[in-house]
Structure 1
Amino acid sequence: MGLHTPSEVKAAVTGYGSAEKKQVATMVAKILGLDAPPTPADASDALALAICHAWRTPAAAATPGAAGLTPAQRAWAEAEKSSRRP
């Protein structure tokens, strides 16, 4: 289980913590390779939350070279790893 704030989810998916719902929906569609943003809006929100949670899972961050991670997940894990260095 994980808890993520709305601004954290928006930042994870769009890069901007104050993104509008339409921006989140558009990025969810791009990330998942969909032809159109998911409908209803609650579906986009749920998918954005799932994407955020998956990208921020400690197991994924601990193994950035692990098979099955997307390039974005690997980049995120590397950025988190480098931010922890003294």
Structure 2
Amino acid sequence: IEKIFYNTNPKTVITVSQARGVCLMYAGVYNLTVKEYTPLQVKNALVGYGRAEKKQVQYMVTKMLNLKEVPKPDDAADALAIAVCAGLEYYKL
């Protein structure tokens, strides 16, 4: 799960917080381990640079998962990037 970071748009923070809450609730119900990653950690894991641009991360997601095109919407690409980051950490790659 992506760690919440400061955002100037209150609606975005509320929406993301609600989604995180649901995910964390079900993780607790099913006794699942939750890993949290900051955007900087995800970018560093996929691109090798924590301040990478969104397009660079999307490119790496596409290449690493052997996709024909960048996942749409952007949130889907972000979710896949977090999943790849978790996989890299889990398998110590």
Q: What TM bracket, shorter-length normalisation?
A: 0.5 to 0.7
Spell out structure 1 runs of 4+ moving beyond 4 A. none
**Letter of the aligned partner of 1:31 in structure 2?**
M
In the TM superposition, residue 53 of structure 1 has moved relative to its aligned partner by 0.7
In the TM superposition, residue 5 of structure 1 has moved relative to its aligned partner by 1.0
Q: Structure 2: how far apart are the matches of 1:28 and 1:22?
A: 10
Q: What are structure 2's unaligned runs of at least 5 residues? A: 1-33
Q: Structure 2: how far apart are the matches of 1:35 and 1:16?
A: 24
| Aligned counterpart, 1:23 | 56
CA deviations 1:43-65 (Å, max 9, x no partner) are: 110000000011112xx33xxxx
RMSD: 0.9
**Letter of the aligned partner of 2:38 in structure 1?**
T
CA deviations 1:35-83 (Å, max 9, x no partner) are: 11111110110000000011112xx33xxxxxxxxxxxxxx3xxxxxxx
Q: Structure 2: how far apart are the matches of 1:41 and 1:33?
A: 17
2:84 is aligned with 1:42: no
Larger relative CO (CA 8 A, sep 6+): 1 or 2? 2
TM-score, normalised via structure 1 length = 0.66
Which of structures 1 and 2 has the bigger CA Rg? 2
Q: Structure 2: how far apart are the matches of 1:33 and 1:9?
A: 18
Identity of aligned residues (%): 48
Q: Structure 2: how far apart are the matches of 1:15 and 1:35?
A: 22
Q: How many residues align?
A: 60
TM-score, normalised via structure 2 length = 0.61
Q: Structure 1: how far apart are the matches of 2:40 and 2:88?
A: 15
